[in-house]
Amino acid sequence: MDEFGVIERFFRHTPQAESVLLGPGDDAAVIKPTPGMGLTMSMDTLLEGRHFPVGFPAEYVGWRSLAVNLSDLAAMGARPRWALLSLSLPQVDEAWLEGFCRGFFTLAEQMGVSLVGGDTVKGPLSITVQVTGEVPATRALRRSGARPGDKLCITGPVGLAAAGLANWQAGITTGALVQAFAQPIPQCQTSLRLQGLATSAIDISDGLLADLQHILTASGGIGADVHVEALPLTSEFLSWGDGAQRQQAQLYGGDDYQLLFTLLSHVNVPRGCVQIGRITSRPRIRVQDFQGQWHDNMAIRGWDHFTS
């Protein structure tokens, strides 16, 4: 089966939304955007052995490769619409492709995304997804709008994916924690409620403190106080590791794809979200740990995905 056969068989049958005037198969897709909306665009590449473990199930790879991109749109407050996919594959493995498509299209359908085109090449396993979403241009959420006094909030628990990856690497391949790493849910729905409400937002892909630092730097070099005890938890996470390991996963673990955002101090925290701290004027992050101790200028290191 050559490249064209692969495209034909696995990707051309994607459901065509009304907005898709011409989908995969021609030189380029033709799309009808919603009048008056701004477009948000993002693109991320996932490499085997770097962004997911070697031999990771194809269904998870397909899901994750779309999820990490949709999370970027969620961080802008945008509604996801269209995706393009470039697959570099060592060989045409039909079972792998079927699994990949199951993961990719299940999430795409849940999130209302149409695959409109892309490319397949023979090479090392690598997946690049480009996504486009729509948002009223003036209501897009940026990293740069946080101000001292703002509430610091999060859409859900973090640390689960890092715990799940640790489980996976220890040979535990099922359970809610592995699921959190394998098939993270991008916060697209919650994100729409933050449009024009949050003063800043980012998705947590590098780790809570690393991504918080991105907001603080983009917002002009301010700081934040963070309370570890305020971070949402799940029962599965509470039965993983010890307190120090859990805190490590919560502060530094990436790959949960929750949103971190700020609100003016008089604005109520949206339902389902949690305030975990406050923006301050001093250019540093202070963390109150799970034992109640305050730490100044905690080492901010990014989550170098699973190669770290």
Name the site residues for a second copy (rule: CB under 8 A).
21-22, 25-33, 35-36, 38-45, 47, 50-51, 72-73, 75-76, 78, 82, 84-86, 88, 116-119, 121-124, 126, 128, 130, 132-133, 135, 137, 140, 142-144, 201-203, 218
Question: In this structure, what DSSP letter does residue 26 have?
Answer: B
Nearest of 251, 275, 280, 245 to residue 263 by alpha carbon: 275
Distance CA 262, CA 172 (A): 36
- Based on CB atoms, which residue is closest to a second copy, 118 or 148? 118
Which residue, 76 or 228, is less far from a second copy as judged by CB? 76
- Closer CB to a second copy, residue 8 or residue 98? 8
CB closer to a second copy, 104 vs 240: 104
Question: How far apart are the C-alpha atoms of 58 and 213, rounded to whole Å?
Answer: 33
Residue 38 Cβ vs a second copy, minimum distance, rounded to whole Å: 5
213: nearest Cα among 250, 166, 268, 251: 251
Tokens read off for 239: 């039965």
Would you state the structure tokens that stand for residue 277, as one six-digit string?
């701290």
Whole-number Å distance between alpha carbons of 260 and 154: 5
Comparison of 123 and 243: residue with beta carbon closer to a second copy: 123
- CA-wise closest residue to 145 among 211, 218, 71: 218
Q: Least distance (Å) from a second copy to the CB of residue 40?
A: 4
Burial class (CB in 10 A: 0-12, 13-18, 19+), 297: exposed
Are 240 and 289 in contact by the 8 Å Cβ rule? The answer is no
Minimum CB distance to a second copy, residue 307 (Å) = 9
Nearest to 69 by CA among 43, 46, 94, 49: 43
Judged by beta carbon, residue 162 or residue 260, the one nearer a second copy is 260
Tell me how far, at minimum, the Cβ of 105 lies from a second copy, in Å: 18
Nearest distance in Å: CB 166, a second copy: 22
**Smallest distance from a second copy to CB 238, Å:** 30
